[in-house]
Amino acid sequence: MAIDEALFKAVSAGTSLPTLRFYTWEPPAVSVGYFQNSLREVDLSVCREMGIDVVRRLTGGRAVLHDRELTYSIISPDNSFNFPDNILGTYKIISSCLVSGLNSIGLNALLTPSVRKAGRDSPSACFTSPSHYEITIDGKKLVGSAQRRGEGAFLQHGSILMEFNREKLEKVLHKTGGIDSVTSTSEHSKIDIATLTTSLVKGFERGLGVSFSEGGLTDEEVALSQQCRNKRYSRPEWNFRRPSDTN
């Protein structure tokens, strides 16, 4: 999460290029949305017993269990690649790129607009809550994403489930209604992370009309990510208390 924020800051400042990033989590972790109450949504004692970390994201949305999945993030100026200056329009373009990549390896993924709204008592989990421009297979949600905008740029990241352990999710999160509406790539095809990543990169290249060059973090990005980690993501007051909470 610190790296994603560092890239967001650097792209916003014009010191880094637009970036498409893919990563996994070790150990597994629950990321909670920026506005969520970690203590209310996540069973922290179960997470400790199972060796699962808990971290708050910079983005909104609901909790995600990052385990046996691939996370993507894309960070870009608002005015690049014909991205519109609004959340829903950007979601649609990014989701279309993801669908293109998934389709290219035989997954019958669809972009499904949603008009439902999640209320206060909705499930804690991102994958069991409705959102706009969901990516589904056979009517079940495969990808959960969240976005942050500001300073002329945006960060969107999301989880693509490769396997889905329903029992683990029910233990970790307090509210998991709608769990039967979730799917994973393993339920439809045997695909490894390398193949999935390559196909998604090509999907973004086709959808955005660009070519990506593989690379690592710059020295500036590494230093900035360490600052973000020290300031936020390694601190209990960030991870376990909502920014708006005062009690």
Catalytically active residues, by annotation? 126
Kindly state the tokens that stand for 74.
């894309």
Q: How many helices (H) and strands (E) does the chain have?
A: 8, 9
- 23 has which bridge partners? 71
**Whose CA is closest to 102, among 146, 187, 160?**
160
Cis bond leading into 27, ω under 30°? Answer: yes
Rounded (to 5) percent helix, strand, coil in the chain: 35, 25, 40
Strand order from edge to edge, sheet including 53-56: 53-56, 29-32, 64-66
One DSSP character per residue, 166-185 reads HHHHHHHBS--TTGGGB--G
Integer-rounded Cα radius of gyration of the chain: 17
Q: How far apart are CA 27 and CA 167, in angstroms?
A: 18
Amino acid letter for position 126: C
**Whose CA is closest to 236, among 24, 53, 28, 41?**
53
Kindly tell me the sign of the dihedral angle through the C-alpha atoms of 23, 204, 165, 121: positive
